[in-house]
Chains A and B, each alone.
Chain A
Amino acid sequence: MDATLSVEHVTKRFGMGETAITAVEDVSFDVAEGEFVSLIGPSGCGKSTLFHFIGGLTAEHGGRVAVAGETISGPHPAIGMVFQEESAFPWRNVIDNVGFALELRGMPRAERLERARHYVALVGLQGFERRHPSELSGGMRQRVAIARTLAAQPRILLMDEPFASLDEQTRLLLGEKVTEIQQQLRQTTLLITHSLTEAVQLSDRILVMTFRPGRLRRVVQVDLPRPRNDDILTSPEFGAYVAELWGDLREEASRGLQAAEHAAG
């Protein structure tokens, strides 16, 4: 099954008339089958707007989203979303959270539990099947959300800063887990992030966005070998990629900061 994601000419404006803000302007890109692409940009570049649009949760935009050439509108089973905020259902234990999508589709219980167990193990949560989210750490809760999305077996995995609320060390460890899973499943993935190291650690390609209006500024191909172990994370090449990205982003981020300070002042 072809799993290429195409995003074409997406534009989004908020408000009307003179006070209108263009959040995203004419953004186009593809994610090839099995590829891991990150979209990086400063706060306020319209990353989350794009995320919601590609996932089909907002309709009032210009532009087109297609999976394997087929235009999709509205939420679609081909696309699985992992949200930035905590989204594990607090009233369901781990296994029932992970089996949620399957339950919605009416999959028989035995089959559902088996598949859910598989994905629980995949994200490394075996032994915690009967726990509720309140009994887990933030990183574990986010892994529950990822397993829930993967269990629905989407062709495209779409993630919006899933590790934003976690500490740096947990992030790195979870990043390793995510690439491991992605390589294992050959899962087409689009990750939205504002973390430079995370983008370089995980991606095949990185799309850099500008501050308002959000446009694509540059595409960076990451030619680091996989698996990206500690040697690579500490290598000069890795550092060079991060520095190069920062060179691009610095200007955009400082424009964002000025705008925020202007608004506050």
Chain B
Amino acid sequence: MAPAYALTVRRSRLAAALLILTAWQALASSGLLFRDVVPSLWRIAAALATTLTAPAFYANLRVTAFEFAVAIAIGSMAGVLVGLALGASHFLSRAYERWVHYLAPVPKIIFFPVLLLAFGAGLESKIAMGTISCFFPVAISVAAGVRGVPPVLIRVDRSFRATPWQMATKIYLPAVRAALLNGLHLGFGVAAIGVLLAETKLSKAGIGFLVMDAYHRFDMPGMYALLLLVVFLVAGVNMAVTRISRS
């Protein structure tokens, strides 16, 4: 990319960002809406500073990050196992893949009441929400990836009498790396939504809890500050995953 062009790109982004911020500020000072619904940029900036300096934010962020990480670990591991099995076995695929496929887009929050009963109101039910959210995209993507493995690779490995475990780790996993990252990418997104939704509904800690707390105290600037932080965090994680999957 020519440097002059890069500069125009940066300028366009800056202009768009300024436009959005100006529009927000204009709306805030117009008095069209109830005063605190759209607080001015200065108040949001101040709230951002307060939030970032408060230890409570980091404590709650740790809780959410922990839930999220455990959910991703369990969900993606289960997804990989199920995906490998469905992809490698024609029989299993015909028997169960349809069900996995149709369950995948179902909004998982409907299971939350059940998860609450099974795992309680603590971290475990949020982890469970994230886990089932993350599981489906990973499983489907890995299964499709396995079917895309060139059959000649599989024949070569069979001729070397590889065990199923060796087949999985030496042939299938490297070959489905792209598919796995793709599924994880989607899985990250839906797991984040799952964990945060669950926290927002019923919890005593976590970012979702903080947002609800701010909302109930009608601390709108504080709420927006939290939303911004979460959006940037998730976007950051997302970009990192994209970068890894492309390298």
**A/B: CB atoms within 8 Å of each other:** no
| Interface residues in chain A, defined as those with a beta carbon under 8 Å from any beta carbon in chain B | none
